[in-house]
Structure 1
Amino acid sequence: MPSTEASTDTGTGPGSPTDEATGDTLDLRLSGELVALLGEGDPMAVTPPSDDARTGDLLDAPERWGPATTLAGVLQLVPVRVERDLALVSGWMNDPAVAAFWDLAGPAAVTEAHLRPQLDGDGRTIPFLGVLDGVPMSYWELYRADLDPLARHYPARPHDTGIHLLLGGAVNRGRGVGTVLLRAVADLVLDHRPRCGRVVAEPDLRNTPSVSAFLSAGFRFAAEVELPDKRAALMVRDRALRDLL
């Protein structure tokens, strides 16, 4: 179960909301392939999987959801491709602020070993680059929380959808970017997954910026949860409350 901490939020970990995410100040120039992928009318025309490959899709094909316009810019979730994105994502994972919660620092092979099971699996977890106004600046994982080991630790409901977020550069942290993007992606989930009544996350309780970012993004603190690798804050964004929080 991926750590939700240093990433999700705002700089500090998979869930660091006060902004976030972590990562070093890296050169975020787009590769030619990614530029081409984003430059055609529909950025999501990123070689989506065939209909046959999507049979039984567990997350309702988020690669087809399209961009979200936010106060921070236009966000596009682009499916991760190891051959194109490994160096970038591995660099972010080696940022000390991120490594403290994701525990994926080290050679690129460490990050690849984290990505491969998701990419080769049944689609219950999908990794994405968050591309903001054409610049890859964050790493996301969308996952079926009700089918994840997390479901053993809280009263999961069918189609609960989880979010992990990592902001990939100091320039994106501390300015509320994580909060804005968390709300936008949670809205994408609720808009495109009608069977999903809740979006959930589980940042480390120690990651106060992440917890704060989730709260500011319309999530509520539901419980403290003891997970195998951390004591987490179970954060929930309810469909029924999305217009109130």
Structure 2
Amino acid sequence: MTTAASARQPVHTHLVEGFGTVTFTPVDPTADAGLIHAWVTPERARFWGMGGASRELVQEIYEDVDRRTTHHAFIMAREGVPVALLQTYDCAEDRISECYDVEPGDVGVHLLIGPSEGGPQPGFSGNLMEALIAFVFADPASRRMVAEPDSRNTKAITRLERTGFVLGPEVVLPEIDLPEVHLPAKPARLAFLNPPRAR
């Protein structure tokens, strides 16, 4: 499977033993809108909050992300095949900053694993998390990962715990209603992970 994402140069590559090479390529809002739309709109991705979005709206959203210096989006690929959408952000410049005391070097993460061909594969999400952690902490300025899954998303919360995240409080991320972006209020469970070297 070849996509526009696989034709661009990745910004990070990580080999997971027994799983394969995982690459991180910045999202191209125009080229990747179709792929992302197919991932974010099904019922399985309901907690991503874009179930009713059109392809055009998905492109507009990621064009907005692309314009920002504090928020980033990447296609994660395994052996060249896109498998997940990752978003990272500076917690101090995001609505999450209204919900907890942000520390220098806090990096927020959102991960959406795409539908897998051939059904679920044991260890798949855990291997992707290993690559994600290596990617985020490859930047020496990153001192802690912060996740904020929907508090009703027990599957994601369980995965974070199994990966080593420490659960924090339940919060409500405030609504954002701006001309270029609208985010409804969201009940979330905070979770934190320090770099492996510090654990």
TM-score, shorter chain, exceeding 0.5: yes
Q: Which amino acid aligns with 2:191?
A: M
State the distance in 2 between where 1:179 and 1:110 align.
31
Q: Cα distance, 1:226 vs. partner? A: 2.1
Corresponding residue SS for 1:67 = strand
Alignment map for 1:6-85 (pairs within 5 Å): 29-31=1-3, 33-37=4-8, 43-44=9-10, 63=11, 66-71=12-17, 72-85=19-32
Residue 189 (1) aligns with residue 136 (2): yes
Residue 222 and residue 95 in structure 1: after superposition, are their counterparts in 2 closer, same or farther (change >3 A)? same
Aligned-pair CA distance for 1:130 = 0.6
The one of 80, 83, 87 equivalent to 1:137 is 83
Give the 3 Å change call, closer, same or farther, for CA 36–224 of structure 1 in structure 2. closer
Q: Structure 1: which 5+ runs fail to align?
A: 1-28, 38-42, 45-62
Q: Say whether the 8 Å CA contact 2:75–2:85 is kept in structure 1.
A: yes
Q: Measure, in 2, the Cα distance between the counterparts of 1:218 and 1:183.
A: 11
Q: What is the CA-CA distance between 1:86 and the residue it aligns to?
A: 0.7
RMSD: 2.0
2:195 counterpart of 1:231: no
Q: Distance in 2 between matches of 1:36 and 1:163?
A: 24
Matching of residue 117 in structure 1 with residue 73 in structure 2: no
Q: After the TM superposition, list the runs of 4 or more consecutive aligned residues in structure 1 that deviate by more than 6 angstroms.
A: none
Identity fraction in percent = 25
TM-score, L = length of structure 2 = 0.84
Instruction: Check whether the contact 2:88–2:107 (CA below 8 A) recurs between aligned residues.
Output: yes
Query: TM (normalized to structure 1)?
Result: 0.70
The whole-number CA distance in structure 2 between the counterparts of 1:174 and 1:214 is 18
Q: Distance in 2 between matches of 1:34 and 1:202?
A: 26
Would you say the 8 A contact 1:183–1:218 is kept in 2? Answer: no
Which amino acid in the other structure matches residue 90 of structure 2? R
Which whole-Å CA distance do the structure 2 matches of 1:226 and 1:173 have between them?
A: 31
Query: Which amino acid counterpart does residue 203 of structure 1 have in structure 2?
Result: P
